[in-house]
């Protein structure tokens, strides 16, 4: 029997972020075809890891992510030496990295050992996410140089690839592989809603950070009548700010902050629709997860992901304070609380539209099942 090729997946840790969820899911598929080593910078594993994957952690026992910029820099220098040594020791033939720090390290590892094949994956819109002070200057220098040392790049949006090519002079072969999801064989029963005077529950999931823009949803709830409620899942540095906003707008009794939970699908299914309010995205996992259980969805038409997912990337024009009916959900302009409130009210009042989008969501999500996406990643690795 032919031995499996040795590959590595390289990410900083396995937390609750989008890239980490992708890696966790891909391990289940890629271990069918390859001898897989998961390489982490830090010993943080909050999601299931396939038992057939070997795990190597580059930091010392007990070390965690450093808050000090200086200490993080020291860590990075240590990892720069450790990572190529691990690849050589483990006999890794192809290493696949995720996110900018690991992608740069993969480029350096390739420079040290040209025989290894390296694939990098960008998961966010670089010119927006990295457009802050020193980070902007560093990425403008580091991304063009080190990304181009690798063999191939894949992202989860054509807009990300275009941004990398146009604004960061990335010249290596690029492709798009969308995020995977675990889909259900049968559409779950959603929370019924028949009386317009009953509570209409909307839900959002994401880190409580500026780019996720939960403040826009809270504002939209304040523009609606008292029977509209919001569940927020996730934690982050804006927790207190968002709670204070809900108090200032007198909607604190209609908004529940749940923090991080496991098995998010079992929680969000108790709502009537899902909202993504981001200022920018790579490819929004949470939107796809909501669709996979048949929730009708409303999303900002942000860069990038929602237009591809909800309207097959066909451009739309959305009037300020309004929304459009896309193929698989409703789209609103970025940071338009009025438009968002109108979209929520529209779904609440139109049961036939809710049911239509519920079925369309469920069917659309099947396209992104991990069994399909895993094959795309396998084929990319096999091409090297």
**Average confidence (pLDDT) over 250-272:** 94
What ranges do the domains of the chain cover? 6-180+370-382, 200-366
Residue 285: predicted pLDDT: 87
Is 337's pLDDT higher than 70? yes
Residue 304: predicted pLDDT: 81
200-366, CATH topology level: Rossmann fold (3.40.50)
Give whichever of 188-202, 271-285, 341-355 has the largest mean pLDDT: 341-355
Is 365's pLDDT higher than 90? yes
Q: Summarize pLDDT for 205-216 with one digit per residue, the tens.
A: 999 999 999 999
**Which of residues 285 and 228 earns the better pLDDT score?**
228
Q: How sure is the predictor about 339, in pLDDT bands with cuts at 50, 70 and 90?
A: very high
Q: How sure is the predictor about 60, in pLDDT bands with cuts at 50, 70 and 90?
A: confident
Domains 6-180+370-382 and 200-366 share a fold: yes
Q: How sure is the predictor about 66, in pLDDT bands with cuts at 50, 70 and 90?
A: low
Buried b / exposed e over 326-349, threshold 16 CB at 10 Å, is: bebbbbbbbbbbbbbbbbbbbbbe
Is 69's pLDDT higher than 80? no
Q: To the nearest whole number, what is the mean pLDDT of the chain?
A: 93
Residue 70: predicted pLDDT: 72
Q: Summarize pLDDT for 77-110 with one digit per residue, the tens.
A: 899 999 999 999 999 999 999 999 999 999 999 9
Is 73's pLDDT higher than 80? no
Is 279's pLDDT higher than 80? yes
6-180+370-382, CATH topology level: Rossmann fold (3.40.50)
Return all residues near 243 (Cβ < 8 A) that are at least 6 apart: 252, 257
Q: How far apart are CA 375 and CA 384, in angstroms?
A: 15
Q: How sure is the predictor about 237, in pLDDT bands with cuts at 50, 70 and 90?
A: very high
Is 31's pLDDT higher than 70? yes
**Which of residues 67 and 243 earns the better pLDDT score?**
243
Lowest mean pLDDT of 126-135, 153-162, 190-199, 230-239, name the range.
Answer: 126-135
**Average confidence (pLDDT) over 101-121:** 97
Is 63's pLDDT higher than 70? no
Q: How sure is the predictor about 62, in pLDDT bands with cuts at 50, 70 and 90?
A: low
């Amino acid at each position: 029997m032919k031995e499996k090729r040795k590959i590595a997946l390289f990410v900083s840790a396995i937390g609750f972020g989008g890239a980490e969820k992708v890696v966790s899911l891909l391990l289940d598929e890629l271990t069918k075809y390859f001898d897989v080593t998961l390489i982490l910078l830090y010993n943080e594993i909050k999601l299931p890891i396939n038992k057939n994957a070997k795990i190597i952690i580059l930091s010392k026992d007990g070390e965690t992510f450093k808050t000090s910029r200086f200490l993080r820099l020291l860590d990075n220098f240590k990892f720069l030496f450790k990572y190529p040594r691990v690849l050589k020791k483990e006999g890794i033939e192809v290493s696949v990295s995720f996110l900018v720090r690991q992608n740069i390290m993969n480029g350096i590892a390739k420079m040290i050992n040209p025989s290894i094949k390296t694939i990098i994956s960008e998961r966010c819109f670089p010119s927006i996410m990295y457009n802050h002070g020193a980070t902007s200057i560093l990425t403008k220098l580091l991304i063009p140089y080190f990304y181009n040392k690798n063999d191939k790049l894949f992202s989860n949006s054509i807009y990300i690839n275009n941004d990398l090519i146009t604004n960061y002079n990335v010249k290596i072969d690029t492709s798009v592989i969308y995020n995977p999801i675990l889909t259900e064989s049968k559409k779950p029963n959603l929370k019924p809603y028949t009386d317009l005077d009953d509570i209409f529950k909307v839900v959002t999931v994401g880190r409580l950070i500026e780019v996720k823009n939960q403040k826009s949803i809270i504002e939209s709830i304040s523009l609606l009548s008292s029977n509209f409620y919001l569940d927020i899942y996730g934690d982050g540095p804006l927790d207190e700010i968002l709670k204070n906003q809900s108090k200032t707008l007198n909607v604190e009794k209609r908004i529940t902050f749940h923090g991080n939970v496991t098995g998010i699908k079992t929680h969000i299914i108790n709502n009537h629709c899902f909202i993504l309010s981001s200022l920018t995205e790579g490819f929004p996992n949470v939107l796809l997860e909501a669709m996979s259980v048949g929730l009708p969805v409303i999303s900002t038409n942000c860069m990038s992901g929602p237009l591809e997912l909800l309207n097959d990337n066909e451009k739309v024009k959305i009037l300020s304070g309004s929304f459009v009916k896309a193929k698989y959900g409703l789209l609103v302009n970025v940071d338009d609380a009025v438009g968002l409130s109108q979209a929520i009210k529209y779904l609440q009042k139109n049961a036939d539209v809710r049911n239509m989008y519920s079925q369309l969501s469920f069917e659309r999500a099947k396209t992104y099942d991990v069994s399909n996406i895993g094959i795309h990643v396998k084929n990319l690795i096999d091409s090297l």
